[in-house]
Structure 1
C-alpha cells in the first residue's frame, strides 16, 4: 500500500485518541462516526436509538444559559414508560469522583495522609495484598497501586460476590499487576478500599460523609448513595444487549443520581466550588475532573468542556461488555459535543 493511501485511511476514524486503520474497524462504528451531523442535540439523541440503545438521557449546562434536557427511548421497556430526563440513573464509576473529593477533604483536615500506606490503614491486609507496606493512599487514588481489579478475576462474573468481603476476596492473594508507583492500572479495588477507609476514619458510612460534605452544600437532592434510598420506579431500567432482564434492581453499592445533579457536581468540581480552602490543590494533585461509568445495563459520561464552558452528561441504559456498544455511546457523546461547538453564541 502506498504511503499516501495509508495516511488517508488513518485519518478516517479516531476512537479513544488512537488512530486505527479502517480495515480493522467494524463498519457499524465507521458509519456511526461518518453519518451527517444533525443540526440539534435532540436529533442526535433520537438517532442514538438506531444504535440499539433502549434509552438515552442527555443534560447540557452551558454557562449563562438555561440548562437543556433531552431524552429518547424507554425508561422502562417492559411497561412502555418513555425515557424522561429527571430519571435516577446508576452512575457506576462516576462515583469515584465523589470519593476522590471526599478523600481530598479528609486529607486537608489531616484525618487522612496521602503518604500513609495500605498496611498502615489496614494491617490485616499485609500478606493478602502484595506490596501493602509500599502502596500509599496517593497511589490508590491515582490507580498506581498495582492492586488487581476484582472484576478481572475469572470467577467474578460466573460466581458474582454476594457482599463486600466476597468482592474483596477476588483481589486478595494475587500477584501485583506492577510495582507500586511504577505503572497505571485502573482498579475498582482501589476505590472500594478507599471507601472502606473513609468509613473507618469518620466512623460512619462514607455515603453519609459525601452527603454532608458534598451533596448538601451543593444542593444536590437527587443524588443517592445506594439503591435502598430511592423509589425503584424512578430508576431508569438497565438492559444487556440480547437479554430481556431488567437490571435496575441489582444493588451495586455505587451511587445513583439524575443527569442534572451529576452535571451540577461536575461544574462545581471544575470551577472549584465543591472545595473549601486548600482542598482543590490536593484534589488536583491526585485525580481527574471527568469520568465515565459502566455497569451491566448502564453507561454514563460526565465531562466539562472548557472551550465552550459547557458540562455534558450522557446516560445510556443499554450496555454489554463484548461488542461495540460502548464505542457507539462514545461516538454519540462526541457528536453531541461537536453539535454544541457548532452552535452560534446566542
Structure 2
C-alpha cells in the first residue's frame, strides 16, 4: 500500500471505484436482497442465534481475525425473537496485550455522515431549509454552487472533489497528524480541482459534500455544528457515548488503532492519537451499544417526519452491484446504514428491516485485505451465516 492510496479513504469506506453514471432512477427501499442474493436457499429472514449458531459465528469471526491479521474486533448482532451475539476478540493494545471489549469507545469514521445528514433533515422538517436549495444560498465560492443542491450533496452526486484525496492535504496531514483542519481549509483543497460532472448525473463519494452540509446547518441555526448536533440529534436519540471531538481527544476506555498510512513500506503505526481530519464527514466517537440504538433510529426515521424519512430512503444505484445510496445512507443487499474508515479504525453499522436486525462491527485497523475493508470481511462472514439471503458485501469495483 502506498501512502497516497490509503489517504484517499480517510473518513470513508465507499470511495474506491465509485465515479459512475446512475443508469436508473430512484428506488424505494424495500429491505429485499439484491438479485444476486435472492436465489439463495429458502431460509427465514434471519437464523435464530442458538448456542450452536453463536459457536459457528465465533469460529467465523476468529478465522477472519487470524487471516486478516486484525489486532482486535468487536461484533454486535441483535434481533427481536432471534437473540443476540456480542463478542470481542483480539487485543486492544499491542504493547500491553489488553483484550478487546464491547465497552470501548471507538472512532467511527464516515458513520458520522449519518448524523450530519440527519441534522440537515431535521432542518428540512422544520421548514428551515429545502433539499432543493442550491448550496450557493448558504456557502459562497462553491464551484458550480448554483446548480448543486443540498440533495445532491447528501446523495454524493455533486461532482465536487474529495478534499481528503488532494495530494497537498495528504502531505500536510502526514507531516503533523495531531493537526486539526477548519472547514475553510478543507474546502480549499477540494476547490482547487474541477467539478467532475454535472450535478445529479453521477455518483462519486466525497467527504467535501458532508462538510458543506454541516456548514449549512451552522448558517441556518447560527450555532456551531457540534452544539446543534448534540441538542437536536444525539440527545433526542438518547445516545450517551456519542460525540464529535474538536481534536484528537479520545475518552477512555478505548482501543488502540493501527495503520500503514504513515509509511510507504507497509510498516504499522499506532494512530490512536491522530486527529481525524474530516470534520463532519468522519470524526465522531461512539461505542457498540450506542450504534446499536442509532442504527434502528436512522433506518426507521424516529427523529424525522414520515415524508422526510421517505426522501432519505430514495435510493439510487452507484454502479456497484448490490449497493445503492440515499441521503447519507446506503443499502447493501438489504442492510441499510453506513460504514467508515479512518487511520487505525473501521466501523460498519447496518440494520435489516425485515428481520429488525442490527449489526455493528468495529476493528482496530484500517488496513484493507484483498481490496476489501476489514469490516466488510467480518460483516460478510457474519451475515453469510445468519442472513444468507442478505449477505453484506461491498463490491471492490
Q: Would the TM-score normalized by the shorter structure come out above 0.5?
A: yes
Aligned pairs for 1:71-86 (under 5 A) are 71-86=88-103
Tell me the CA shift for residue 91 of structure 1: 0.6
Please report the TM-score for the alignment, with normalisation by the length of structure 1. Answer: 0.80
Counterpart CA distance in 1 for 2:236 and 2:305 is: 11
| 2:31 alignment counterpart | none
In structure 2, what is the equivalent of residue 303 of structure 1? 350
Instruction: Give the direction of change, closer, same or farther, for the CA distance of 1:181–1:278 in structure 2 (3 Å limit).
Output: closer
Shift of 1:258: 0.4
- Greater per-residue helix proportion: 1
Partner of 1:249: 273
Decide which of 115, 133, 138 is 2:146's aligned counterpart. 133
Match of 2:9 in 1: none
Q: Give the superposed CA RMSD.
A: 2.6
Aligned to 1:7: none
Q: Which runs of 5+ in 2 are unaligned?
A: 1-17, 19-33, 37-52, 174-178, 261-265, 315-325, 330-335, 389-397
Change (3 A) 1:114 1:296: same
Q: Which has the larger radius of gyration?
A: 1
User: Given the superposition, is the C-alpha separation of residues 328 and 41 from structure 1 closer, same or farther in structure 2, using an over 3 Å criterion?
Assistant: same
Give unmatched runs, 5+ long, in structure 1.
1-15, 20-36
Equivalent in the alignment of 1:290: 337
Q: CA deviation at 1:278?
A: 4.2
CA deviation map 1:141-181 (0-9, x unaligned): 11111111112212222222741232221101321111111
Is 1:271 the counterpart of 2:300 in the alignment? yes
1:140–1:300 CA distance, 2 compared to 1 (3 A) = same
Greater strand content? 2
Q: TM-score, normalised by structure 2?
A: 0.70
Paired residue for 2:215?
196
Greater Cα shift, 279-288 or 93-102: 279-288
Q: How many angstroms apart in 2 are the aligned matches of 1:207 and 1:184? A: 27
Report the CA distance between 1:119 and its aligned residue: 1.4
Cα distance in structure 2, aligned partners of 1:259 and 1:226: 18
| Greater Cα offset, 242-251 or 299-308 | 242-251
Q: Could you report, residue by residue, the CA deviation over 1:232-263 in whole angstroms, capped at 9, with x for unpaired residues?
A: 33222110145443212122241110011112
Closer/same/farther in 2, CA of residues 328 and 137 from structure 1, 3 Å limit = closer
CA–CA distance in structure 2, aligned partners of residues 146 and 277 of structure 1:
29
* Larger RCO (CA under 8 A, 6+ residues apart): 2
Q: Given the superposition, is the C-alpha separation of residues 82 and 201 from structure 1 closer, same or farther in structure 2, using an over 3 Å criterion?
A: same
Does 2:74 correspond to 1:57? Answer: yes
Q: Give the count of matched residue pairs.
A: 305
Q: What does residue 39 of structure 2 align with?
A: none
Is the counterpart of residue 340 in structure 1 residue 386 in structure 2?
yes
